Amino acid sequence: MQTAALTTGAQAPAVPPPSPTSPAKPDLAIRGLCKSFEANRAILTDVSFSIANKEAVALIGSNGAGKSTALRCAMRLIEPDSGEAVLFGTELRSAKARQLRKIRSDVGFVFQKHNLVPRVSALTNVVHGNLGRASGVRGWSQAFSGRQIRERAYACLERVGLSEQAMKRADQLSGGQSQRVAIARALMQQPKMIVADEPVASLDPVAGQEVMDLFHHLAKEEGITLLFTTHNVAHALAYSDRVVALRGGKVELDQTSAVLSSSDLNEFYG
């Protein structure tokens, strides 16, 4: 784990000394990630951090700091220029397509836009999450059918508190409910880890807090490792065990949340 690498000079946030602990067998370890989309403009520079099993980590930083790019490189949804990402013990850059799909099926993704299919029920949208575990034409067709699968999808909706809305069309749900259906869809693949990119950025404060409470429950009560990005400093502090802050594509803080204050994190939005 890269511990608090603080800037020097007037802008340095006043944070306590770095946490000395590093997980022995992290669920995710990224080391030295570098990424540019065009010449002479580095988006990520030597980004390193780890996430322990069952840990909740908030990734913060102002617009353009590189949070989404770091997540995408960490999951090899895009190729980093250099550096490595080790997910559940496997280095992703050397993984073949099939192996990569299998490892990534242990990760549930949640994005700012829930991307539900609008004209079908909440339950059917959750059933679609089963695709993440299916492979081959037969597997894909089986992923949608069968009573057992619908029962499992219903159980996922219960976990997010929406079983009563199971038959409601997705386009008739509120923003907060839709995001909870998207989380249920991610749960359908029985993930060990959830990666959520600004999951509450489009929601009002109450719905946003409900969704963050749900993530917290999944992390703390169900033991699902969590990595989320946010601009909400209060959420970062309340819902994570550790905060990693990026500035200009570099990790400038990696610290246990319990010893951080909101003013420490507001430094990254100054």
Ligand X SMILES: Nc1ncnc2c1ncn2[C@@H]1O[C@H](COP(=O)(O)OP(=O)(O)OP(=O)(O)O)[C@@H](O)[C@H]1O
User: What does the binding site for ligand X look like in residue numbers (CB under 6 A)?
Assistant: 37, 43, 61, 63-69
Residues linked to residue 91 through DSSP beta bridges, in sequence order: 86
- The CA distance from 219 to 216, in Å, is 5
Q: Which residue number, 178 or 230, has a Cβ lying nearer to ligand X?
A: 230
- The CA distance from 77 to 74, in Å, is 8
Compute the least distance from the CB of residue 45 to ligand X, in Å.
Answer: 12
Compute the least distance from the CB of residue 141 to ligand X, in Å.
Answer: 33
Q: Which residue number, 47 or 260, has a Cβ lying nearer to ligand X?
A: 47
- The total of other beta-carbon atoms located within 10 Å of residue 213's CB is 13
Compute the least distance from the CB of residue 14 to ligand X, in Å.
Answer: 23
Strand segments, DSSP code E, in 10-111 are 28-38, 41-51, 56-60, 82-87, 90-91, 107-111
Q: Which residue number, 44 or 207, has a Cβ lying nearer to ligand X?
A: 44
Of 92, 86, 99, 108, give the one whose Cα is nearest residue 26: 86
Instruction: Give the full edge-to-edge strand order of the sheet including 193-197.
Output: 107-111, 193-197, 225-229, 56-60, 242-247, 250-256
Compute the least distance from the CB of residue 69 to ligand X, in Å.
Answer: 3
- The total of other beta-carbon atoms located within 10 Å of residue 46's CB is 16
Compute the least distance from the CB of residue 79 to ligand X, in Å.
Answer: 11
At residue 90, the 3 state secondary structure works out as strand
Contact 17, 31 (CB under 8 A): no
Q: Which residue number, 68 or 124, has a Cβ lying nearer to ligand X?
A: 68
Q: Which residue number, 114 or 165, has a Cβ lying nearer to ligand X?
A: 114
Q: Which residue number, 166 or 197, has a Cβ lying nearer to ligand X?
A: 197
Compute the least distance from the CB of residue 20 to ligand X, in Å.
Answer: 28
